[in-house]
Amino acid sequence: MFIKFITTGGTIDKIYFDDLSQFEVGESRMQHILAEGLVTFEFDVVPLMHKDSLEIDDADRRKLRDYISGDDATRYVITHGTDTMPVTAEALSDLKGKTIVLTGSLTPARFRTTDAIFNVGMAVATAQVAAPGVYIAMSGQVFEAGAVQKNRAENRFEPIDRN
Amino acid sequence: MFIKFITTGGTIDKIYFDDLSQFEVGESRMQHILAEGLVTFEFDVVPLMHKDSLEIDDADRRKLRDYISGDDATRYVITHGTDTMPVTAEALSDLKGKTIVLTGSLTPARFRTTDAIFNVGMAVATAQVAAPGVYIAMSGQVFEAGAVQKNRAENRFEPIDRN
Amino acid sequence: MFIKFITTGGTIDKIYFDDLSQFEVGESRMQHILAEGLVTFEFDVVPLMHKDSLEIDDADRRKLRDYISGDDATRYVITHGTDTMPVTAEALSDLKGKTIVLTGSLTPARFRTTDAIFNVGMAVATAQVAAPGVYIAMSGQVFEAGAVQKNRAENRFEPIDRN
Amino acid sequence: MFIKFITTGGTIDKIYFDDLSQFEVGESRMQHILAEGLVTFEFDVVPLMHKDSLEIDDADRRKLRDYISGDDATRYVITHGTDTMPVTAEALSDLKGKTIVLTGSLTPARFRTTDAIFNVGMAVATAQVAAPGVYIAMSGQVFEAGAVQKNRAENRFEPIDRN
pLDDT, one tens digit per residue, over D101-146 is 999 999 999 999 999 999 999 999 999 999 999 999 999 999 999 9
User: Which pLDDT score, from 0 to 100, does residue B112 have?
Assistant: 93
Which stretch of DSSP H or E encloses residue C75? strand C75-79
- Residue D61 is predicted with a pLDDT of 98
Task: Using DSSP, state whether C21 is helix, strand or coil.
Answer: coil
pLDDT in tens, A84-143: 999 999 999 999 999 999 999 999 999 999 999 999 999 999 999 999 999 999 999 999
Interface ipTM:
0.95
CA distance A72 to chain C (A): 32
**pLDDT tens-digit readout, C95-113:** 999 999 999 999 999 999 9
Which chains form contacts with chain D, at 3 or more CB pairs under 8 Å? Answer: B, C
Instruction: Name the strand (E) or helix (H) holding D88.
Output: helix D85-91
CB contact under 8 A, A152 and C20: yes
Are A38 and B106 a contacting pair at CB < 8 A? yes
Question: What are residue D127's phi and psi, to 5 degrees?
Answer: -60, -25
What is the share, in percent, of chain C residues with pLDDT greater than 90? 85
Residues of B in contact with D112 (CB under 8 A): 110-112, 114
Rounded to an integer, what distance in angstroms lies between the CA atom of residue C74 and that of residue A144?
Answer: 61
Beta-carbon separation of A81 and C52 below 8 A: no
The pTM assigned to this predicted structure is 0.93
- Measured between CB atoms, does D52 come within 8 Å of chain B? yes
Give the mean pLDDT of C133-151: 97
Mutate to test the interface with B, among D18, D107, D154, D157 (most CBs of B within 10 A): D18
Q: What average pLDDT does the segment D36-45 reach?
A: 97
* Residues on chain A touching C111 (C-beta within 8 angstroms): 16, 110-112
Q: Do residue B38 and residue A120 have CB atoms under 8 angstroms apart?
A: no
Chain B contact present for A39, CB below 8 A: yes
Tell me the per-residue pLDDT of C26-84, one tens digit each, with 9 for 90 and over.
778 999 999 999 999 999 999 999 898 899 999 999 999 999 999 999 999 999 999 99
Q: Do C53 and A22 count as a contact with CB atoms less than 8 A apart?
A: no
pLDDT at A20 over 60: no
Angle at B35 between CA B31 and CA B36, to 5 degrees: 120
The per-residue pLDDT for B19 is 47
Contacts of D39 (CB under 8 A, 6+ apart): C118, C139, C140, C141, D124
**Interval D69-102: pLDDT, tens:** 999 999 999 999 999 999 999 999 999 999 999 9
**A33-70 pLDDT per residue, tens:** 999 999 999 999 999 999 988 999 999 999 999 999 99
Please say if the pLDDT value at position B115 is more than 90: yes
Give me the pLDDT at residue C19, please. 47
Q: Which of D14, D19, D110 sits opposite B54 (nearest CB)?
A: D19
Long-range contacts of D149-153 (CB under 8 A, 24+ apart): D149/D86, D150/D82, D150/D83, D150/D85, D150/D86, D152/B18, D152/B20, D152/D83
- Distance separating alpha carbons of residues B126 and B134, to the nearest angstrom: 10
The answer to whether A65 and A76 have CB atoms below 8 angstroms apart is no
Average model confidence (pLDDT) across chain D: 93
pLDDT tens, residue by residue, B135-153: 999 999 999 999 999 999 8
Residue A140, amino acid: G
Check pLDDT > 80 for residue B163: no
- The least confident of C82-86, D151-155, D156-160 is D151-155
Give chains near C: 3+ CB pairs under 8 A.
A, D
